[in-house]
Copies of this chain bind each other. A is one copy, B any other.
């Protein structure tokens, strides 16, 4: 009943199974297998983004010529170019970034991995990154690790899958192995660390004055007469935490104050841990007379908790914190901080990454330190003489 699509023979055509639900035939005459398609439905051309092929068809020329016109090639007649640009504009042509990137082998996109976009510090960093990236013609793709090592690894893979040209990473507080980063670095992907960096990988880094910031805050406290200074640190593995502790210890040693391990508390930055640390300290026979939190938000929490417990600030306990946000100047009492400049950190990191991307072969990793600023406020001013001046 079925005619062979090749020889037109009818008698020698037999059925030969199904392929993907469609009846398959075999023509013994011409030795041909073929399937029967219900009907080639009328090819409804869907509306789509216009392509250079569309433009070429309109003008009756070849796609390569259109491409040349759009890419400011010299190998094209000016009149032709104008015609092409006119039609392109008429059809609201937008180049297909996917095809371009696939062809060129670069996406002009950089990936950013941060713990949490909702933290003002990282929002500021992202804004700085976007500014520099946009100016340089790069897109930005942002991922949040939510402070999870596993999610961070997935983020890296997702961004590699997206074939980003480079990566900006601030590690989660959980991250203590860096294989996911090393692997991509080995494959030649430019990577720049910022803020929460790691020393085990040979990448460029943008960091803050973690050591000298801690040092400055503690020296300020000492200048105000505080002697038993507690520190609310971060996870033991976190490098910025370690470095800030080092600054803390160095300042104590310089002024002949012994380090008391009881006064060093490792937290996960959560409010619960802050309160727990505070209550622990207040229960000690020798209570601290001041507290340094390495995360600004914990400083705010400390002030709130101390007010609840009717402890006077700064008379009974002084507070200083690393990092500065608007809120630090508005709370009562206002909070002494070491101000970091997130926007600048973002700008710098993005700049270095793009430098790395462009000079892939010759780039030599280096570390850039963004200077911070000690901002003295009421929470640490026992004596009244040094308001808003560095100790």
Contact = CB atoms under 8 A, between A and B. Distances in A.
Given A117-B126, A127-B118, A160-B49, A142 B144 contact: no
Contacts of A14: none
Nearest to A141: B141
A360 B142 CA distance: 26
Contact of A117 (B107, B123, B188): B123
A277 B47 CA distance: 51
Interface stretch (A235-243, A251-259, A284-292, A323-331): A323-331
Contacts of A94: 157, 160-161
Contacts of A47: 187-188
A101 interface: yes
Interface string A148-186: 000000000110111100000000000000000001000
Contacts of A157: 94
B117 A117 contact: yes
Nearest to A126: B117
A17 interface: no
Interface in A70-117: 92, 94-99, 101-102, 107, 116-117
Contacts of A161: 94-97
A139 interface: yes
Interface string A61-76: 0000000000000000
A11 interface: no
A163 B96 contact: yes
A379 B183 CA distance: 55
B144 A300 contact: no
A99 B235 CA distance: 41
A96 B99 CA distance: 12
Contact of A102 (B98, B127, B188): B98
A225 interface: no
B120 A127 contact: no
Contacts of A162: 97-98, 139
A124 interface: yes
Contacts of A124: 118
A140 interface: yes
B141 A139 contact: yes
A340 interface: no
A264 interface: no
A356 interface: no
A316 to B, nearest CB: 20
Nearest to A186: B47
A332 interface: yes
7 contacts: A95-B161, A98-B162, A116-B127, A117-B126, A118-B127, A120-B120, A300-B330
Interface of A: 47, 49, 92, 94-99, 101-102, 107, 116-118, 120, 123-124, 126-127, 130, 139-144, 157-158, 160-163, 183, 187-188, 300, 304, 326-327, 330-332
- What are the 4 tightest A-B residue pairs by CB atom distance, in nearest-first order? A98-B102, A97-B161, A97-B162, A118-B123
